[in-house]
Each structure stands twice: as C-alpha cells, then as structure tokens.
Amino acid sequence: MKASFAFVTVTATLLAGCSYLPSGPTAHPLTGKTWRLTEVETEGGTTRLTRAQQATHTIRFNTDGTMQLQLDCNNGTATWNGAEPVRGEGYLNISAVASTRALCPPPTWGNDLALDLPSTTSYSIAPNGRSIRITARRVSFGFEAQ
C-alpha cells in the first residue's frame, strides 16, 4: 500500500510540475490574423483604401510558411519567412505570388500586391500588434488586422 501511495504522490507531483512548462514555440506575430490592406505609399504619395477595397485586398501568413492573398477579384498564394521583430521591426521575405488572372475593375491594388510583395525587405509592427507596414522595393503597404 505504501508503494502505491508513493507512486501516486510522485506521479501527481510530476504532472503538476509539467503544467508550468511552455506548451510550444510562440507563434510569429504575423500569423493567426488576416491583414487587410489599408494604404499604399509610393514616391508619389499615399492612397488610403475605402472599407470596401480593404475587404478585397487581404493577406494571411500561415505558420507553415505559406500565405494566402486576396488580390481584389483574384486569389493568390506565396511562401514567406521572417524574423521576430526587434523593437517593432524585422526582415521579411516573400516568394513570387501565384494567382488567378481575372481582370478586376479599377481601382484595384491586387496586381501591385502580387508584383511588389516579392521585393519585400522588411516589416514593422505596431506595439499593439494590430497594424503592420510591409516595405518593398518601390512601395510600402499598410495593413490592419481584421
């Protein structure tokens, strides 16, 4: 009986200790959200998208290194990798975007996203984690979490 009690006590203690162990790696701050495009900044100025336009221009970073894009009336996929942000900034690489090729009525930023995201070099994330800015070669994209 004493051996059974000792076994139960040791097992309960070990199991209680396990509850304090981390449950796994923390997710990248870009994953787990759908990001809607809110503004496009170029050398010529900044364009703010309407709510309706924001709803049709979205990206989603998946934990497996893939991403889904809604490019207005088209859908796209790509792969990505990036560093955890340090002081709100990190590097970001996005592959070429494979997408459907329907002709979306203007104004649209779907083609710009598909063409410019592969030249991405970095991103910044707001302290609250609700908005990001992705910097590419000739353009900067502002996104907010849905």
- Note down the domain range covering 74: 28-145
Q: How many CB atoms lie within 10 A of CB 50?
A: 9
113 in any annotated domain: yes
Task: Establish how many alpha carbons lie within 13 A of residue 12's alpha carbon, considering only the half-sphere containing its beta carbon.
Answer: 6
Count of structural domains, the chain:
1
CA distance 47 to 32: 26
CA distance 114 to 134: 13
Q: What is the pLDDT of residue 27?
A: 87
User: Which residues are 94's β-sheet partners?
Assistant: 80
SS3 111: helix
Question: Which whole number is the average pLDDT over 73-77?
Answer: 98
Residue 111 sits in a domain whose CATH number is 2.40.128.270
Q: What is the pLDDT of residue 24?
A: 44
78 in any annotated domain: yes
> pTM for this structure?
0.81
Question: Which whole number is the average pLDDT over 77-84?
Answer: 97
Q: What is the pLDDT of residue 9?
A: 38
Q: What is the pLDDT of residues 2-35, one digit of tens each?
A: 444 443 333 333 333 332 232 346 789 999 999 9
Whether residue 128 has pLDDT greater than 70: yes
63 in any annotated domain: yes
CA distance 59 to 67: 7
39 in any annotated domain: yes
Q: Which residues contact 130 (CB under 8 A, 6 or more apart)?
A: 144, 145
Q: What is the pLDDT of residues 26-62, one digit of tens each?
A: 789 999 999 999 999 999 999 999 999 999 999 999 9
